[in-house]
């Protein structure tokens, strides 16, 4: 299977008054065709920055320090704004978090989708673009598309708006879709429909999706692959089954245990103590060490390497070192284990 | 006249006028009450009117119909004694959803926290005020070092804790929390919810908790109300609501919560709820102990 997107040893930093913020540190990731990769982690761990650095949508203060980004077989690390404009929309498109603010409130939804179609294909006539817009609206599951294409965003419910945003993203057949918390602003019943739509689109159009979220329930429904990020690094990478049934990194354990499902019938919820570290001067060694009850001495001194557990699964923790004490995963036989 | 219901909301309606012709009925005929020391949760999709109810309870919005009383005092009453007004202002506190805009970015945390104390004259001198600030920051798990910072320098979790500390400082009897954890991370959410539970046990205040995360509500609340399209459709003790939901919307809402288990999660169908289009009769029916459902026909 071809990898549509390959990120190798990418580091991204921001220059601020307080110093250099190392938002993404040495991240390697590959996204195969037709798969959904979920990027999970707390806010400020670099998920969105990683997405945006591939799209080159970062502010000027951000710099790619090292590493390379290969999208669709081409190295785009040093692409400038002009080259990127050709790629955005055609090679990759993005679905943002809040469907209320991504649509133009004073333009009919159908016209907004048709506009996206015409931007990438100037020769197409207005009528053809409109027909394509209606087709796209049907594709994302909006009923009575013809009539609704003339309505304005305020006539639409939150779920329909998010569907329209997806129609715009799909307007020019992108091969890679970035979704930055696309369901956070929706209620759970609508969220489930949108997630199923993501899976449907990925099977019919074979797009690859990078799905940013902090909700593990969402991950369980939508993702094929999962990357867990902490303090700018990927700490665990695997298939969705690897991560949920056989997690190896203590941070992943913490995330799973913090779910209310884990505390059913108990008085307090599990928490990960403390706060994520500042990325201005990230700690030496493992950034998670000071919040990690299983931390070893070496965690405070040296960054753990990415250890391969199986063909698909790897984690960056010293606990996987042959010399480390064997700690049974607290997740084994989790809240929903059958 | 003694009142059993600490907070009571009777036939509350609120209509937002957009233009002369267009108006939105954000809340339609909502009634419920909260007992002293109880945690009532209010859930529902965004736009279902939860926040409007919260704002009406706090007296930020003036309802266009119905009545809200707090310990027997009509919140929007025209003739309140000054004692009643002071009680309303000091005993009710609200925690907003977005801690970024709830705190004045130009004030230091010290000023943010001491302002309400000064207004209500709760601290006699500087020493007592300082002690109160530190004590309340300690309640929410922050240390005094934060007093000189401004909201912009704090993380989302810390800011939300400052908002909570600000509400607690007034020794409120009623706290209304409008999605206090929605903008926070999973691990921080758990910290804040634990904190609420702990503080409630310690101080025994009455709590109206608004959220859309059903799992957190289940964990925290004694009773839960479900809102849909401006109406309260179901109200029941938490256990009962989660075990035996009656209204179709509640059922859809509960079954749509994603389960963090990929094999289980993918194998299940999620029902779609469609609101009935032509409802001629709505009846608020009692279906079990303390369990009420809006029957629509």
Distance CA B60, CA B222 (A): 26
Contacts of B253 in chain A (CB under 8 A): 187-189
Using CA coordinates, name the residue in chain A closest to B269: A192
Distance CA B266, CA A133 (A): 30
B46 touches chain A (CB under 8 A): yes
Contacts of B273 in chain A (CB under 8 A): 189
Distance CA B239, CA B234 (A): 13
**Nearest beta carbon to residue B260 from set A44, A186, A244:** A244
Q: Is the CB of B46 less than 8 angstroms away from the CB of A187?
A: yes
**Ordered strands of the A92-95 beta sheet:** A92-95, A176-180, A208-213, A36-40, A225-230, A233-239, A314-316, A306-308
Nearest C-alpha of chain A: how many angstroms from B246? 17
Contacts of B193 in chain A (CB under 8 A): 269
B60 touches chain A (CB under 8 A): no
How many C-beta atoms surround the C-beta of residue B140 within 10 A? 21
Contacts of A190 in chain B (CB under 8 A): 45
pLDDT the model gives residue A47: 84
**Nearest beta carbon to residue B261 from set A42, A215, A220:** A220
Average pLDDT estimate for A30-43: 89
B187 touches chain A (CB under 8 A): yes
**Nearest beta carbon to residue B187 from set A192, A261, A272:** A272
Using CA coordinates, name the residue in chain B closest to A216: B260
Residue A276 pLDDT grade (very low, low, confident, very high; cuts 50, 70, 90):
confident
**Nearest beta carbon to residue B256 from set A189, A240, A261:** A189
Nearest C-alpha of chain B: how many angstroms from A1? 23
Distance CA B40, CA B32 (A): 10
Counting Cα atoms < 13 Å in the Cβ hemisphere of B251 gives 12
pLDDT the model gives residue A337: 46
pLDDT the model gives residue A338: 37
Residue-wise pLDDT for A317-329, tens only, equals 888 888 888 877 7
Residue A333 pLDDT grade (very low, low, confident, very high; cuts 50, 70, 90):
low
A26-40, A44-58, A96-110, A263-277: least confident range: A263-277
Give the tokens for residue B170: 């007034």
Q: Quick check: A11 pLDDT over 50? A: yes
Contacts of A275 in chain B (CB under 8 A): 155, 157
Nearest C-alpha of chain A: how many angstroms from B158? 10
CA-based angle B19:B20:B21, to the nearest 5? 90
Q: Is the CB of B186 less than 8 angstroms away from the CB of A336?
A: no
Residues A38 and A225 sit within 8 Å (Cβ to Cβ)? yes
Contacts of B212 in chain A (CB under 8 A): 187-188
pLDDT the model gives residue B114: 92
Q: How many CB pairs under 8 A join A and B?
A: 118
Q: Is the CB of A189 less than 8 angstroms away from the CB of B46?
A: no
Residue-wise pLDDT for A194-246, tens only, equals 888 888 888 888 889 999 988 888 899 899 999 999 988 999 999 999 999 88
* ipTM at complex level: 0.70
Average pLDDT estimate for A39-45: 82
* CATH superfamily of the domain spanning B7-221: P-loop containing nucleotide triphosphate hydrolases (3.40.50.300)
- Write the CA distances from B31 to A67, B1, B222, integer angstroms: 60, 21, 17
Give the tokens for residue A208: 């690859």
**Nearest beta carbon to residue A244 from set B155, B212, B262:** B262
User: A35-61 burial, b if ≥16 CB within 10 A, otherwise e?
Assistant: bbbbbbbbbbbbbbbbbbbbbbebeee
Distance CA B174, CA B110 (A): 23
The DSSP H or E segment spanning B195 is helix B186-203
Nearest C-alpha of chain B: how many angstroms from A287? 16
pLDDT the model gives residue A236: 94
Contacts of A268 in chain B (CB under 8 A): 194, 197-198
B194 touches chain A (CB under 8 A): yes
Distance CA A218, CA B261 (A): 10
The DSSP secondary-structure symbol of A88 reads B
Contacts of A267 in chain B (CB under 8 A): 197
pLDDT the model gives residue A336: 54
**Mean pLDDT per 10-residue section of chain B, whose length is 297 residues:** 73 85 85 92 84 91 91 87 90 87 92 90 88 89 87 83 90 90 74 86 90 85 92 93 91 86 83 76 86 87
H runs (alpha helix) in chain A: 47-55, 81-87, 99-102, 109-120, 126-139, 145-148, 158-169, 188-205, 216-222, 240-245, 250-257
Q: Is the CB of A220 less than 8 angstroms away from the CB of B156?
A: no
Contacts of A336 in chain B (CB under 8 A): 259-261, 264
**Nearest beta carbon to residue B219 from set A240, A269, A271:** A269
Q: Quick check: A1 pLDDT over 60? A: no
Contacts of B187 in chain A (CB under 8 A): 42, 254-255, 258, 271-272
Q: Is the CB of B212 less than 8 angstroms away from the CB of A188?
A: yes
Q: Is the CB of A259 less than 8 angstroms away from the CB of B186?
A: yes
B18 touches chain A (CB under 8 A): no
Domain boundaries, chain B: 7-221, 238-297
Q: Is the CB of B256 less than 8 angstroms away from the CB of A192?
A: yes
pLDDT the model gives residue B1: 39
- Write the CA distances from A189 to A62, B46, B213, integer angstroms: 37, 11, 12
B218 touches chain A (CB under 8 A): yes
C-alpha torsion A42→A48→A51→A55, nearest 10: 180
């Amino acid at each position: 299977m071809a990898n549509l997107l390959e990120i190798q040893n990418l580091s991204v930093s921001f220059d601020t008054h307080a110093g250099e913020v190392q938002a993404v540190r040495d991240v390697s990731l590959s996204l195969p065709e037709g798969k959904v990769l979920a990027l999970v982690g707390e806010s400020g761990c670099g998920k969105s920055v990683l997405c945006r650095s591939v799209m080159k949508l970062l502010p000027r203060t951000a710099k790619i320090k090292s590493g390379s980004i290969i999208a669709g077989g081409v190295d785009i690390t040093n692409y400038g704004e002009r080259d990127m404009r050709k790629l955005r929309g055609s090679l990759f498109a993005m679905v943002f978090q809040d469907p209320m603010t991504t649509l133009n409130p004073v333009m009919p939804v159908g016209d907004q989708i048709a506009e996206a179609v015409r931007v990438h294909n100037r020769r197409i006539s207005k009528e053809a673009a409109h027909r394509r817009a209606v087709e796209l609206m049907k594709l994302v599951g909006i009923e009575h598309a013809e009539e609704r294409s003339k309505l304005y965003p305020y006539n639409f419910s939150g779920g329909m708006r998010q569907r329209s945003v997806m129609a715009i993203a799909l307007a020019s057949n992108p091969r890679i879709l970035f979704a930055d918390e696309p369901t956070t602003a929706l209620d759970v019943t609508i969220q489930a429909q949108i997630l199923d739509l993501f899976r449907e689109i990925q099977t019919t159009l074979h797009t690859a999706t990078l799905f940013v979220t902090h909700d593990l329930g969402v991950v369980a429904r939508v993702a094929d692959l999962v990357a867990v990020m902490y303090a700018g690094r990927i700490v665990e990478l695997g298939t969705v089954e690897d991560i949920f049934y056989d997690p190896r990194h203590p941070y992943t354990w913490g995330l799973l245990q913090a779910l209310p499902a884990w505390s059913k019938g108990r008085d307090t919820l599990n928490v990960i103590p403390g706060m994520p570290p500042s990325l201005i001067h990230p700690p030496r060694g493992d950034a998670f060490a000071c919040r990690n009850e299983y931390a070893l001495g070496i965690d405070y001194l040296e960054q753990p390497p990415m250890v391969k557990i199986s063909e698909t699964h790897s984690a960056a923790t010293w606990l996987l070192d042959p010399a480390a004490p064997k700690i049974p995963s607290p997740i084994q036989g989790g809240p929903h284990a059958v | 006249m003694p009142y059993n219901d600490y907070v009571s909301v009777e036939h509350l309606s609120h209509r937002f006028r957009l233009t002369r012709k267009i108006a939105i009925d954000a809340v339609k005929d909502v009634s419920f009450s909260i007992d002293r020391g109880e945690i009532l949760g209010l859930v529902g999709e965004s736009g279902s009117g939860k926040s409007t109810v919260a704002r009406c309870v706090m007296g930020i919005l003036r309802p266009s119909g119905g009545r809200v009383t707090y310990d027997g005092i009509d919140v929007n009453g025209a003739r309140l004694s000054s004692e009643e007004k002071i009680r309303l202002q000091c005993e009710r506190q609200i925690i907003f959803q977005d801690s970024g805009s709830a705190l004045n970015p130009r004030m230091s945390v010290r000023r943010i926290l001491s302002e309400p104390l000064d207004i209500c004259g709760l601290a006699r001198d500087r020493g007592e005020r300082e002690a109160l600030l530190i004590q309340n920051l300690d309640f929410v798990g922050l240390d005094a070092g934060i007093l000189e910072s401004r909201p912009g320098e704090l993380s989302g979790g810390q800011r939300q804790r400052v908002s909570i500390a600000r509400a607690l400082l007034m020794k409120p009897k009623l706290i209304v929390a409008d999605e206090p954890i929605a903008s926070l991370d999973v691990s921080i959410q758990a910290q804040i919810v634990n904190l609420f539970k702990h503080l409630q046990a310690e101080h025994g205040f009455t709590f109206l908790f608004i959220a859309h995360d059903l799992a957190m509500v289940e964990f925290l609340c004694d009773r839960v109300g479900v809102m849909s399209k401006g109406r309260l459709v179901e109200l029941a003790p938490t256990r009962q609501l989660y075990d035996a939901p009656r209204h179709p919307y509640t059922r859809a809402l509960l079954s749509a919560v994603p389960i963090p288990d990929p094999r289980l999660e993918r194998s299940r169908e999620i029902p779609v709820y469609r609101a009935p289009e032509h409802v001629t009769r709505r009846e608020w029916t009692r279906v079990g102990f303390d369990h009420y459902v809006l029957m629509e026909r």
